[in-house]
Amino acid sequence: MRCWMSSGVRNVLSLNAANSPAEKRKQHEVFELASRMAETLYSMPPAQRLGHIEEIVQLARSGGCSRVRQILTMPALIRPHPDKHHLFPRGCRSYCTISQAADRYCRISPWNAGVADVVRGKVPEPPTGEVTLGVLQRLEAENGLGSHISEAISLYADLRSPPLPLQGMRRG
């Protein structure tokens, strides 16, 4: 395909599945993997599905698998055309694609953002709920709760310090 540019004429081959057998194979592999991931998700017991989606999102977010990241951020799988039944698990629109399931999970999770933003790292990690010494000190300064927070700080410090070695005990 020729493309006229202001700097002159140059040949530009658009890289798509129609022009490139290698690109066609790559796209087929991506959609096949997405289909298998969705089938795996729906073959699990419902109680295990959220944990599975969390693992997939974390894998893509960590950069451990670029293919999974590509699948989760692919607009054609996040918002598939309803007439393209081949994109949906079991060919039925009542099942989400793996990208839709991950997107819905990310929106109801503490991230409260779309899967593309979560996977690309545009959204910070959600708080873990772990209480650290800094959190306790900030609470004490903000709320002036005095003895209760002070007790929690000293308890936290005791828990974080290494245990004392046991003396006078013999192994036997």
Reported as a single tens digit per residue, the pLDDT across 5-51 is 444 444 455 567 777 888 888 888 999 999 999 999 989 999 999 99
Residue 135 is predicted with a pLDDT of 61
Helix ranges (H only) for 63-169 are: 66-72, 75-78, 98-108, 115-119, 133-143, 147-160
User: Per residue in 88-134, pLDDT tens?
Assistant: 887 778 788 899 999 999 998 888 899 999 999 998 887 766 556 66
Residue 163, C-beta contacts closer than 8 angstroms, at least 6 positions apart: none
Angle at alpha carbon of residue 137, lines to 132 and 143, rounded to 5°? 125
Q: How far is it, in rounded angstroms, from Cα 172 to Cα 170?
A: 6
Confidence of residue 72 (pLDDT cuts 50, 70, 90): very high
pLDDT at 116 (0 to 100)? 95
Q: How many CB atoms lie within 10 A of CB 120?
A: 14
Provide the whole-model pTM.
0.64
> Within a 10 A sphere around the Cβ of 65, how many other Cβ atoms?
14
User: Which among 110, 155, 102 is positioned nearest to 128, based on CA atoms?
Assistant: 110
The answer to whether residue 152 scores a pLDDT higher than 80 is no
d(CA 17, CA 39): 25
Percent of the chain whose predicted confidence (pLDDT) is above 90: 34
Q: Is 109 left (phi over 0), alpha (psi -120 to 50) or beta?
A: beta
How far is it, in rounded angstroms, from Cα 16 to Cα 147? 67
Residue 147 has pLDDT above 70, yes or no: no
pLDDT reported for residue 94: 78
Predicted confidence at residue 11, as pLDDT, reads 47
Residue 158 has pLDDT above 60, yes or no: no
> Does the pLDDT value for residue 64 go beyond 50?
yes
Beta pairing partners, 79: none
- Mean pLDDT over each residue of the chain, to the nearest integer: 77
CA distance linking residue 46 with residue 95, whole number of Å? 13
Higher pLDDT: 169 or 25? It is: 25
Q: Which of residues 129 and 85 earns the better pLDDT score? A: 85
Is 97 in contact with 30 (CB distance < 8 Å)? Answer: no
Q: Which of 156, 115, 109 is nearest to 128 (CA)?
A: 109
Which pLDDT does position 73 carry in this prediction? 95
